[in-house]
Structure 1
Amino acid sequence: MSKTYYFVEMDQIDIPIEGFSTSQQMTLEGTKKDADPISTLNIINKDYYRGWMHLQALHETIDKTPRRMAGDPEYLHHSIVGGDRPFDCYYNEKDKMIIMNTSKMNVIGLQRRLIQNFPELFKPHQRELDFKHLLQQLRHTQIVSSWFNNIQGKVNAVGLFGQRVNLDEIFNHYNQIGNLSAITVEWVLKNEEQPMNVMFTKNFGVVLYSNWAVDKDLDFLFELKNLLFKKEIINS
């Protein structure tokens, strides 16, 4: 089982009492055109867990897959999806940090739409993960896979797999001619019978391969936040 979380640093965020909700153009009757997709971000619990708020977000997108409605012989050339799939977020007001439990597409799309609609209230600090520093922090950790993209050659991406792949000469080769985009580490954790894999991506994404409850996920993510943002090594 895997769960994907993304850390989002905020330069500024002022959540209205009613939450964020983007405007929506109404559907014109008889045109068979959907209304505009919307995005929302609302506070569910201001004091949820260890100083973090519980937020709920929703991000609709346009799906251009042709489909028909029941009983309608004509195809719709596009439709809006995502309105039935809200996702959880967690916000720490002191650190100005949001953790989103969703896909990369939703994380990027939600940010873009809120920036566009609420430029004075929602200002994320956008940057990519410093893999050079992270690898230094993880120099005593077993890295079991890595991905490189933007390679100056015949392929667009390369994946390397195996124990301590970061110590292989081929890792250094691709690190010089491409951009490291993801690594997976294997940790032996206290009170856990089996080792656990954790993937880090360049957009501050963290994939946890575990069946933990939400509170245990958050405890672990709070520790990872120190690793990714405060130049400290996780205690495992």
Structure 2
Amino acid sequence: MKKSHRPEIPRKTIYRLSTYLRCLARLKEKNMQTVSSEALAKVAGVKPTQLRKDLAYFGTFGTRGLGYNVAELSYRIADELGTSRLQPVILVGVGNLGLALLSYRGFEREGFEIVAAFDAEPNRPRDKKISVTIFGMEDLPAFVRQHGVRMAILTVPAEVAQEVANALVATGIAGILNFSPSVLSVPEDVMVNSVNVAIELENLSYFIQE
């Protein structure tokens, strides 16, 4: 959902913030306390002017001649991204991909916790054992409202993706990470990020042709 008190921020800038955050995490692991814009830009793969422009959308960072405090900049970027505290997320569609995502242990390190999963067949036997509870779709509205969840991962077949997206929006979900091949139609105040592996491979295929 858009934040009305902010100017329009380019989506590529938001993606680069995530890159900066991970670069800063690596610097913290090396016990670096400060970093110049030139050094941070280099490890992030951007120009220093681009880095400074991206950060300028969100206020003043760093001290001239001293650079950025690594810990402070990390916290402020995480705060802007909404990940300075653990964000609850639900997953809908517990097939092979859904199970793989539920089995991944790295989300919490990045500020996200999958608190529940939902499926049309919640009691169907599954190969992998997971710690997240799988509920039926009928439990979705009450769970989302009770736990204040605003983000969902969608891993359902294409033929039901729009129907499920409608249900998510109706419960108050404001952001959907869509792994289905469907192009979802949602209200303007709902954000959808789609991940289509085939499209990404097609993009790679184009650029590696001889």
Decide: shared fold, TM above 0.5. Answer: no
> Greater relative contact order: 1 or 2 (C-alpha under 8 angstroms, separation 6 or more)?
1
Larger relative helix fraction: 2
- TM-score with structure 1 setting the length: 0.25
- TM-score with structure 2 setting the length: 0.27
Larger relative strand fraction: 1
